[in-house]
Amino acid sequence: LTGTIILNPQNIECSDNVFIGVNNYIQAGGGLTIQSDALLGPYVKIWTQNHNYKNYEMPVHSQGYSYKPVKIGADVWIGSNVFIMPGAQVGDKCIISANSVVGDKVYNEGTMLAGYPARKIGERRSASLQDE
């Protein structure tokens, strides 16, 4: 947890055996749920709010924020330097490759993600399904 910054910790619901890597930055203003056995690598960033910007006549810093909760399922591995954007819903047993940017989408259970923006590159399956 060395160097990790957590803003709005009162908006976090965190289950058992969650591992948070060094130098994470978690902005939980919009709400964050992390299920059991999730693993966050070093330098992971999770945002649950963003600046409003649509009023062209007003400075962005004066327009307030919009909030979208983030949900991280059970037994999820989030690699180093991943950025998770407001509204992302990562299903159980997903794996997110290092340096990926995870957008405001629903990612199904067992999905392996990589890239910017993150996209499906494979599936994590149980041993009983490996031979099919």
Catalytic residues: 51
Residue 28 vs residues 31, 34, 110, 123: alpha-carbon distances, Å: 5, 11, 24, 28
> How far apart, in whole angstroms, are the C-alpha atoms of residue 30 and residue 96?
22
68: its two tokens? 């979208």
Q: What is the DSSP letter of 105?
A: S
Strand ranges, E, within the chain: 5-7, 12-14, 19-20, 25-27, 32-34, 39-40, 45-47, 49-51, 65-67, 70-72, 77-78, 83-84, 89-90, 95-96, 101-102, 106-107, 111-115, 118-123
